[in-house]
Amino acid sequence: MKVTFKIWRQENTDAQGELKAYEVDGLSEDMSFLEALDHLNEILVLKDEKVIAFEHDCREGICGQCGVFINGRAHGPHNNTTTCQLHMRSFKEGDTIVVEPWRASSFPIVKDLVVDRSAFDRIIQQGGYITAKTGTAAEANAILVSKEVSDSAMDAAACIGCGACVATCKNASAALFTAAKINHLNKLPQGQPEAHRRLLDMTAQMEFENFGSCTFTGACEIECPADISISNIAEMNARYVKAKLFG
Amino acid sequence: MKLNAKIPEGKLEDKWKNYQAKSHLINPANKKKLKIIVVGSGLAGAGAAATLAELGYEVQCFCYQDSARRAHSVAAQGGINAAKNYQHDGDSVWRMFHDTLKGGDFRSREANTYRLAELSAPLIDHFVQQGVPFAREYGGVLANRSFGGVQVQRTFYARGQTGQQLLLAAYSQLYKMVRAKKVEMLPRHEVLDIVIIDGKAKGVISRNLAKGEIKRFAADAVVLATGGYSRVFRLSTLAIGCNGSAIWKAHKRGAYFAAPSFTQIHPTALPQTSEAQSKLTLMSESLRNDGRIWVPKKKGDKRKAIDIPEAERDYYLERRYPSYGNLAPRDIASRAAKERIDAGHGVGQFKNAVYLDFKHAIQKLGKKVVEDRYGNLFNMYEKITGINAYEEPMKISPAAHFSMGGLWVDYELMTTIPGLYAIGECNYSDHGANRLGANSLLQTSIDGYFILPNTINNYLEGELKAKQYGIDHPEFSKVEDEVREQIKKLLEVNGTRTVDDFHRELGKVMWQECAMSRNRKGLENAIGEIKHIKNEFWKHVKVTGSDNEMNPELEKALRLADFIELAELMCLDALQRDESCGAHFREEYQSEEGEAMRNDEDFAYVSAWEYNAGNFVLHKEKLMFEYVQPTVRSYK
């Protein structure tokens, strides 16, 4: 299988980047998209060129490290999947495939297709936890949590932190990411004591990091590999009003 | 050096309490004067870093990924064991200890394994408190499920993403302490060497992967939590970046390496489908409950699976293990698949797989029931392979998975280098020669949250009064120079072969000779081949780009250089153990029916290897069984 990749190359954060074309032969349909990039990188090494830097680690769709724009869509042509789970059989012989990094000013480019998503860590840092020290826990079954609440918390907790929601949003909003963590913890009884503080601190950090506002286009939930529903954002907003009034 | 495991006095159930009662403490005002480096941010690393910071220590935590949340603990699916006895089915700390010791084929310490079971229940309390959305019953209590090799239900789970949920809890707790300015998090930092001063671990040399900058970091103690090394096989269920470099460098600086050849091969992964493949994805073992495993009776049969009539199919697990059948334990199922594949009956494009067939299950139970039970797995299978497993059998294959081996540690989780600790998968502690399902999340978490924060005081108390060293100590500059020299050497080779090309070659040798079944001749050949690969690597590898920028190719090359050396030690270790136990199966030591033959008389010890200028010296820690008498694991 032969395709042409047009890939964003950029030396570092401050350098000017550009799309460069690479005609790549010897691919197979069973190769994952990232393996096709591995293959291209081996070719580049033997041609004495620098490899293309891209993010990846677990390659089974759970670590959230991979993620690029492929032909204008976050994580490629399919809904709700990660880049590592995309295979070359989704493309045709002779296709031109444009590969770009996540585009959001809150995710500055580090090199080529690699961006800096540490803004996500800083949002979590402002309250995406339960303040309790190791060793202070009571017996696990002492607090009952209904199956419905637990399942719904799990739905929100499934976020892998890849950043596709931000990258695909026309406003580069981090509302889906932030809402998922707030709702995960604020639904559970263990998260109640600091529920309001968590919500106010995390949303403040989200704004501080210059993510855009959510205008409910729903683009994020189409790309989200963890199927996080946009209803999480509505729930966060409702909780926000409550926190402001009663927090 | 004589190995001293420092097992505390007293009865088995009192040892940990006795240890805690007698170990040294440090007052809060003094704790903040002490700095601890934690390498790795998985469940062991993040759990330890957060807990140590809560106790008042100054902590620096390193990870090679862009965020602590990516660590490979995230990928564990099934669950975490705990002796809560919530199901009222006769579980207890003792039973869990016994299951784990036996599952490991009696090659771990009783005291360590007992402590693992003892601390399992409070660990579940901890994770619930941290907001882990474990599965629950309608009444609101926690749910359990059963897992391989045990007769009770003690596995706690969060859908198929238990590892992810536990890791995110640890990551959150870690970042809580980052906010409190008690932890400095250093993502995109790879630790390339350990600095030892006056025989004690005093710091690390690390490379900033985003910028290429190499820096020294000093501390009063260093904790390695770097995970498993099964990427030595190249194709494994591990993340691409998983590596053995930090523990290998520690080994070369004096830490003994225990049982490196004990690596677990998982029977149900997706097979390799191309030379360029980088990763093998695990399919849940639960599929074997209803799927039947077979290969064509005829060698090299080119027909499609659905065109091969029943009479020409060999359901080899059912044939060889009539009582366990398709549910034979992991090591047996993996070896049996390899035997058929090697005999020329493998299927698929590369003839490296066996069929896992749901035809009979669908006929008997109906498609709906099969879909309810395994729908998500069938979807995942179709996403990756493009094949609908309701219509034709899945193709599966064994894959390198977990490493029981790792740095030798005593009861305090300290290596043979004072002040250097190893926790989680990178140590050799509780699993013996084979790990039970859902015990890995448990061990890694307990090491990080509960054990290390209680044992490290015992060492650090002495460091309060000891001489303080900074990064300007000559040993720091010596080690830094060595790191720079290795990088320079790698970049200067400028050969004709890529790093991946060498890794593929190494992986093939290791997979053939040092994976599911081993024999003397094969291992001896492998050692020769590995030495040859090492030689070729340093003559012909090509790494482009420079060292003062983000350079993924250089990162890979550095990791592979260490894997090549580790591979040799794995083969040496497999060679010296003239018995079959757990995941280590030596073809010379099997019964007529192909069962593993353990030899307690001569091999009831932990092998611990010392590095001595390119040679490896074997030390033995004799294992004493006071409470459980070793028995034969039988699957018939």
pLDDT tens, position by position, A12-22 = 999 999 999 99
Nearest CB to B70 within list A36, A44, A64: A64
Q: What does the alpha-carbon distance between residue B126 and residue B147 come to, in Å, rounded to a whole number? A: 22
pLDDT tens, position by position, A63-97 = 999 999 999 999 999 999 999 999 999 999 999 99
Is pLDDT above 80 for B329? no
A85 in the same domain as A21: yes
CB contacts under 8 A, A 82-141 vs B, are 85, 87, 89, 110-111, 114, 116-118, 120-121, 124-126, 128-141
B499-513 and B552-576 are packed helices; what angle lies between their axes, rounded to 10 degrees? 20
Average pLDDT over residues A139-156: 97
Q: Hey, where are the domains in chain B?
A: 267-400, 474-603
A241 in the same domain as A122: yes
Residue that wins the pLDDT comparison between A69 and B436? A69
The residue segments making up the domain with residue A33 are: 3-111
Helix (H, G, I), strand (E, B) or coil at A173: strand
Query: B488 falls in which pLDDT band (50, 70, 90)?
Result: very high
Contact B128 A117 (CB under 8 A): no
A198 in the same domain as A151: yes
Q: What are phi and psi of B244, to 5 degrees?
A: -110, 15
Percentage of chain B beyond pLDDT 90 is 85
Look at residues B574, B537, B533, B584 and name the one whose alpha carbon lies nearest to residue B557: B537
pLDDT tens, position by position, B548-599 = 999 999 999 999 999 999 999 999 999 999 999 999 999 999 998 788 899 9
Amino acid at B342: D
Preferred mutation among B20, B130, B395 to probe A, highest tally of A CBs within 10 A = B130
Average pLDDT over residues B24-36: 96
**Cβ neighbours of A128 in B, within 8 Å:** 172, 175
**Cβ neighbours of B185 in A, within 8 Å:** 121
CB contacts under 8 A, A 165-194 vs B, are 184-185, 188, 190-191
Q: What does the alpha-carbon distance between residue B373 and residue B284 come to, in Å, rounded to a whole number? A: 12
Is pLDDT above 90 for B481? yes
Confirm or reject contact between A39 and chain B (CB < 8 A): yes
Q: What is the mean pLDDT of chain B?
A: 95
Nearest CB to A157 within list B168, B385, B498: B168
A131 in the same domain as A104: no
Query: B148 falls in which pLDDT band (50, 70, 90)?
Result: low
Query: B544 falls in which pLDDT band (50, 70, 90)?
Result: very high
Q: Are strands A3-9 and B406-408 parallel, antiparallel or unpaired?
A: unpaired
- How many beta-carbon pairs below 8 A join chains A and B? 223
Give ipTM to 2 decimals.
Answer: 0.98
User: Residue B52: closest CA among chain A residues belongs to which residue?
Assistant: A134
CATH number for the domain running over B267-400: 3.90.700.10
Helix (H, G, I), strand (E, B) or coil at B248: helix
Check the CA dihedral B455-B461-B462-B468 and report its sign: positive
Element (H, E) at A110: strand A109-111
The Cα of B44 is separated from the nearest Cα of chain A by a number of Å equal to 13
A141 in the same domain as A31: no
Q: Which are the catalytic amino acids of B?
A: 330
Least confident of A201-210, B152-161, B222-231: B152-161
Q: What is the mean pLDDT of chain A?
A: 97
* All residues at 6 or more sequence positions from B532 whose CB lies less than 8 Å from its CB, including other chains: none
Is pLDDT above 70 for B257? yes
Contact A45 B239 (CB under 8 A): no
Residue with tokens 């260093």: B222
A139 in the same domain as A43: no
Amino acid at B499: V
Contact B273 A30 (CB under 8 A): yes
Domain boundary among A111, A141, A175: A111
CATH number for the domain running over B474-603: 1.20.58.100
Contact A63 B122 (CB under 8 A): no
Least confident of A195-199, A214-218, B13-17, B287-291: B287-291
Preferred mutation among B230, B280, B498 to probe A, highest tally of A CBs within 10 A = B498
pLDDT at position B371 is 86
Average pLDDT over residues B513-519: 95
Is pLDDT above 70 for B636? no
The Cα of A64 is separated from the nearest Cα of chain B by a number of Å equal to 7
The Cα of A80 is separated from the nearest Cα of chain B by a number of Å equal to 12
CATH number at A215 reads 1.10.1060.10
Domain boundary among A69, A84, A111: A111
Is pLDDT above 90 for B366? yes
Q: What does the alpha-carbon distance between residue B111 and residue B626 come to, in Å, rounded to a whole number? A: 10
Residue with tokens 């070719």: A43
Q: Are strands B155-156 and B80-81 parallel, antiparallel or unpaired?
A: antiparallel
pLDDT at position B406 is 98
A155 in the same domain as A200: yes
A59 in the same domain as A156: no
Is pLDDT above 90 for B181? yes
Q: What are phi and psi of B388, to 5 degrees?
A: -90, 110
Check the CA dihedral B491-B493-B497-B500 and report its sign: negative
Residue with tokens 């010791």: B101
Average pLDDT over residues B202-208: 98
The Cα of B576 is separated from the nearest Cα of chain A by a number of Å equal to 34
A218 in the same domain as A130: yes
Do residues B142 and B128 touch, judged by C-beta distance below 8 A? Answer: yes
Count of the separate structural domains present in chain A:
2
Preferred mutation among A52, A60, A75, A109 to probe B, highest tally of B CBs within 10 A = A60
pLDDT at position B471 is 97
Element (H, E) at B349: none
A187 in the same domain as A84: no
Domain boundary among A60, A86, A111: A111
Nearest 5°: CA angle at A104, between A102 and A105?
135
pLDDT at position B243 is 98
A122 in the same domain as A41: no
A102 in the same domain as A35: yes
pLDDT at position B415 is 98
pLDDT at position B326 is 86
User: Residue A201: closest CA among chain B residues belongs to which residue?
Assistant: B179
CATH number at A52 reads 3.10.20.30
Contact B179 A125 (CB under 8 A): yes
- Provide the CA B605 distance to its chain's centre, in angstroms: 20
Do residues B56 and B242 touch, judged by C-beta distance below 8 A? Answer: no
pLDDT tens, position by position, B75-91 = 998 799 999 999 999 99
